[in-house]
Amino acid sequence: MATLYQNKGHWLLTVQYQGRRLTRSLRTKDKRVAKQLKPYIESQLILELTGLKKRTSVITFPDLAAKFLKANTKRSKNTQKLYKYVLRSYINGKPLPTNPNSRAIFIRTINACWNWGLKQGLIDKANKLEGDTRGEPRQRVYTADELDLLFNQITDKDFNSFVRFAYYTGARSGEIRSISRENIFSNHIVAYGKSGKRLIKLNDQAKSILDSLDELWNYRKDFVSHKFKKEARRLGIPDIRFHDLRRTFGYNLIRQGRPIYEVSKLLGHSSVTTTERHYAPLLATDIDDFIL
């Protein structure tokens, strides 16, 4: 007999067999996650109760996560930071995010940790979470009028140049904030961000901005996000995020007739497939009328 119950917010599973009982914490406060984990943990406890399996070498998920985070030194700093945040939240029993994209990131990261444990022989069964691991690509792009408002009505000169540089290069906020003078070359910059080190092409508009700067931007991530949303509210631009500048950059290049392979390289995507997945829904409405 197996029973799920809560203790101080966390879900636990207890299994009773022939007068013996074993209880194990599922290390989550999310009932949905607990129900997904129940059959896996229940089978382990039954094996232990019947003597078919000893618990001598069981590794807890927190220990597995710690080993997982230390194992790969090739991850970018931002990826490592994200993994730490996701795994710490999960271990502390916080519910999975309700936003489809954020939830997909959590599930993907947690399952990657379980899969790594299997490959390393640290566990014999992965209690992976079910659910979408890809999320829903955001489709918000700016109109020409909205871009004109941003470029001409943001009065903070330095932040205005930051916004325009992001659009003219398609670079991520973190990549722009990491720029140093020694990494700026005649027609490109060497940037470090989500995907690690990459080259970002500089067009004449982006070069002009760099030439006009007295100092490079020294912004924090939260400052950029909050400042940008504040400016958008003031200008009356709805449903806005800083990353939408990058999406609009790629979208407008494709609309101009640039090959998707070229746009993929400018965006720093790992493959053209990634570019197609993000931009195909946006371009469906741009197809000329046709008759069957």
Residue 75 near residue 69, CB atoms below 8 Å: no
State pTM to two decimals: 0.63
* pLDDT confidence of residue 279: 83
Question: Is 70 exceeded by the pLDDT of residue 270?
Answer: yes
Instruction: Give yes or no for residue 259 having a pLDDT over 70.
Output: yes
Can you tell me the distance from the alpha carbon of 244 to that of 239, in angstroms, rounded to the nearest whole number?
Answer: 10
Task: Summarize pLDDT for 158-196 with one digit per residue, the tens.
Answer: 999 999 999 999 999 999 998 999 999 999 999 987 777
**Which amino acid makes up residue 97?**
P
Mean pLDDT of the chain: 88
- Residue 42's pLDDT is what? 86
CATH architecture classification, 144-286: Orthogonal Bundle (1.10)
* Mean pLDDT, residues 268-274: 88
Q: Tell me the pLDDT tens digit for each residue of 240-252.
A: 999 999 999 999 9
Partners of 22 in the beta sheet? 15
Q: Which of 13-27, 143-157, 169-183 has the lowest mean pLDDT?
A: 13-27
Where do the domains of the chain lie?
A: 2-49, 61-119, 144-286
pLDDT band at 287 (very low <50, low <70, confident <90, very high): low
From residue 23, how far is each of 38, 94, 122, 174, 243 by CA, in Å? 12, 21, 22, 45, 46
The predicted-structure confidence for 51-81, as pLDDT tens digits, reads as follows 776 544 568 899 999 999 998 767 777 788 8
CB neighbours of residue 85 within 10 Å? 13
